[in-house]
A = this chain, B = another copy of it.
Amino acid sequence: MAAPASSSIYSPLRSSQRIPRGLCNCSPPSASSISLLPRGLRSTSLGRIGFSCLSSDQILTRVAASSAPVMDPTKGEVSLKVSTVVDVDLGDRSYPIYIGSGLLDAPDLLQRHVAGKRVLVVTNTTIAPLYLDRVVEALTRGNSHVSVESVILPDGEKYKDMGTMMKIFDKAIESRMDRRCTFVALGGGVIGDMCGFAAATYVRGVNFIQIPTTLMAQVDSSVGGKTGINHPLAKNMIGAFYQPQCVLIDTDTLNTLPDRELASGIAEVIKYGLIRDAKFFEWQERNMEALLARDSSALAYAIKRSCENKAEVVSLDEKESGLRATLNLGHTFGHAIESGFGYGQWFHGEAVAAGTVMAVDLSYRLGWIDSSIVERVLNILQQAKLPTAPPEMMTVELFKSAMAVDKKVADGLLRLILLKGPLGSCVFTGDYDRKALDETLIAFCKS
């Protein structure tokens, strides 16, 4: 087997070289162990071999040593800003989520996860003018062995289809991308899902990296390996479980995010609190104003805590045998809204918000939660300026026909995520009174 020699100093991380969990606190690996590092004080080692806790001086030294041709800290070019690494523990498919400010300007982080010499950046018409050049620069700075191509797709959920995904394949084949190439998803959830699915299926699988630029993608869709596209009849019906090499979250990208999209992401943040993290929900109740005002430390904490929750769930149930389905609170109703109302009319998080209210309403009708939870959910969603009811055009029939093709239907039985018990507790079940579901649908639909 001849492996072509590479003179690049940037080798892809192999599984044996992955950054170990619990790096700096020397704690044993756990389902989702977290390295929470005060910025500039400690960080993960960037060397290829060997890991240790480093002081800020040592980090700069190590960065300079491993990346000497590209970064000269004395010129102030480099400011390593990884404040948090959340590890998604999936055996040999484990990967880190880097969260911090200014990470798009940290080439070493990206380059260490690039396998081979060819990179295809997949982005959209909104994000390309804002960040594409910086990402290309980060991928190639001091690394002339890597060549980067890009494909710029139209922006929006309605383009999350097979026809648009074929443009990724067209570009990859025209550019002669081979098995060792890396796809980079630069954008929101639609780009991440499509690029990930393209990476999962191009020459039966190539490496990929997620650079989510919306809060929705940062707290949810970029983490966990769900990739796919929509079918005209139902959302996310075609796809694959496929894990990235890393997720790079530069919180600065949220500065260009429209308000409605920020709120859409907050809907998923709220979900984590409701299904499994009452303390986080209470933190959100106290800090919603700060989140909406884009307070950077509030956002960073919300992203970190969301990723931790998601990483833990995904580590325990990667392929959604059960537990992972709980991440879909409100999503069955929400997907019905998206499909009935038309993809892209509402943002995903807006549909999920209305769907969450409906799931909570059904939970209450079943007698599984008390009314204070219903009120708190309504309050926090209203505070986040998210919808708390489906669009007026949604009918009971539209809900029912969309819900019949939901992926959580098993042998004809629709299973739902419903709250049950105290705040932060939920169930995934097909064992609920269908009459109560009908009542919920009637309560939220005019016909």
Q: List chain A positions with a Cβ less than 8 A from chain B.
A: 1-4, 6, 116-118, 162, 166, 169-170, 173-174, 176, 178-180, 197, 200-205, 226, 228, 231, 233-234, 237-241, 319, 322, 404-405, 407-413, 415, 428-431
Cβ-neighbour of A178 out of B166, B202, B240, B409 (below 8 A): B409
Q: Judging by beta carbons under 8 Å apart, are B238 and A4 in contact? A: no
A413-B4 CB under 8 A given contacts A238-B202, A241-B205: yes
Q: Judging by beta carbons under 8 Å apart, are A178 and B4 in contact? A: no
Residues from chain B with a CB closer than 8 A to the CB of A408 are: 179
A407-B203 CB under 8 A given contacts A173-B233, A231-B169, A237-B173: yes
A189 smallest CB distance to B (angstroms): 16
Q: How far is the CA of A367 from the CA of B226 in the complex (A)?
A: 49
Q: How far is the CA of A6 from the CA of B410 in the complex (A)?
A: 12
Residues from chain B with a CB closer than 8 A to the CB of A176 are: 404-405, 409, 412
Residues from chain B with a CB closer than 8 A to the CB of A2 are: 413, 415, 429-431
Apart from the given pairs A4-B410, A179-B409, A205-B240, 10 other A-B contacts in the complex at a CB distance below 8 Å: A2-B413, A116-B410, A117-B412, A173-B405, A178-B412, A179-B408, A201-B228, A201-B240, A202-B237, A202-B238
Residues from chain B with a CB closer than 8 A to the CB of A3 are: 410
A325 smallest CB distance to B (angstroms): 8
A78 smallest CB distance to B (angstroms): 28
Residues from chain B with a CB closer than 8 A to the CB of A4 are: 410-413, 430
Q: Judging by beta carbons under 8 Å apart, are B204 and A411 in contact? A: no
Residues from chain B with a CB closer than 8 A to the CB of A173 are: 231, 233-234, 237, 405
Q: Judging by beta carbons under 8 Å apart, are B204 and A201 in contact? A: no
A200-B240 CB under 8 A given contacts A405-B173, A411-B6, A429-B1: yes
A238 smallest CB distance to B (angstroms): 5
| Residue on B nearest A172 in the bound complex, by CB | B237
A163 smallest CB distance to B (angstroms): 9
Cβ-neighbour of A410 out of B179, B322, B428 (below 8 A): B179
Residues from chain B with a CB closer than 8 A to the CB of A415 are: 1-2
A223 smallest CB distance to B (angstroms): 16
Cβ-neighbour of A241 out of B204, B233, B404, B405 (below 8 A): B204
A-B contacts, 13 listed (Cβ < 8 Å): A4-B410, A116-B411, A162-B162, A169-B231, A173-B233, A173-B237, A174-B233, A176-B405, A178-B411, A201-B238, A202-B237, A203-B237, A204-B407
Q: How far is the CA of A326 from the CA of B429 in the complex (A)?
A: 48
Residues from chain B with a CB closer than 8 A to the CB of A412 are: 4, 117, 176, 178
Q: How far is the CA of A162 from the CA of B107 in the complex (A)?
A: 37
A205 smallest CB distance to B (angstroms): 7
Q: How far is the CA of A3 from the CA of B179 in the complex (A)?
A: 40
Residues from chain B with a CB closer than 8 A to the CB of A116 are: 410-411
What 8 pairs across the A-B complex have the smallest Cβ distances? A2-B430, A2-B431, A178-B409, A1-B322, A203-B407, A4-B413, A204-B239, A2-B429
Q: How far is the CA of A95 from the CA of B173 in the complex (A)?
A: 33
